[in-house]
Amino acid sequence: MSRILVIDDDETILEFIQIVLEEDKHEVVSTTDSAAGLELLNRKRMDLVITDIFMPEPGGLQVIINIREKFPQTKILAITAGAKSLDYISLAKELGADRALQKPLEAGKLLATVRSLL
């Protein structure tokens, strides 16, 4: 079983990801607050962090930078939606995200991506 932290300011997305991952037997911790997510990561080791790119400060790109600096072994999956999402996905990868997915998320693709990272 892997420990996964999910950070997204949209509670509906958080619930969807949590349900999908828990059904796949992962331990999931989630938060809508990116600063709280980073604090959780400081207290408890995670195998994977799934973070939205567009969130209130610190935004997802800063979250990726912080994780990569402090926890280089932790895998990062960036998620995002919007007209410029492809540009931000490329930037997220440059900053240290291992993989990225566009919203809306599909359960099968999410699981396949998570499994490939773990």
In tens, the pLDDT along 23-43 reads 999 999 999 999 999 999 999
Q: Domain total for the chain?
A: 1
Q: Which residues of the chain carry a pLDDT beneath 50? A: none
**pLDDT (0 to 100) of residue 28:** 98
**pLDDT (0 to 100) of residue 89:** 92
Integer angstrom CA distances of residue 100 from 8, 17, 42, 91? 14, 14, 23, 10
**pLDDT (0 to 100) of residue 66:** 97
**pLDDT (0 to 100) of residue 94:** 96
**pLDDT (0 to 100) of residue 83:** 63
| Residue 90 is assigned to a structural domain of this protein | yes
**pLDDT (0 to 100) of residue 2:** 96
CATH code, 58:
3.40.50.2300
| Residue 114 is assigned to a structural domain of this protein | no
Alpha carbon distance 26, 100 (integer Å): 19
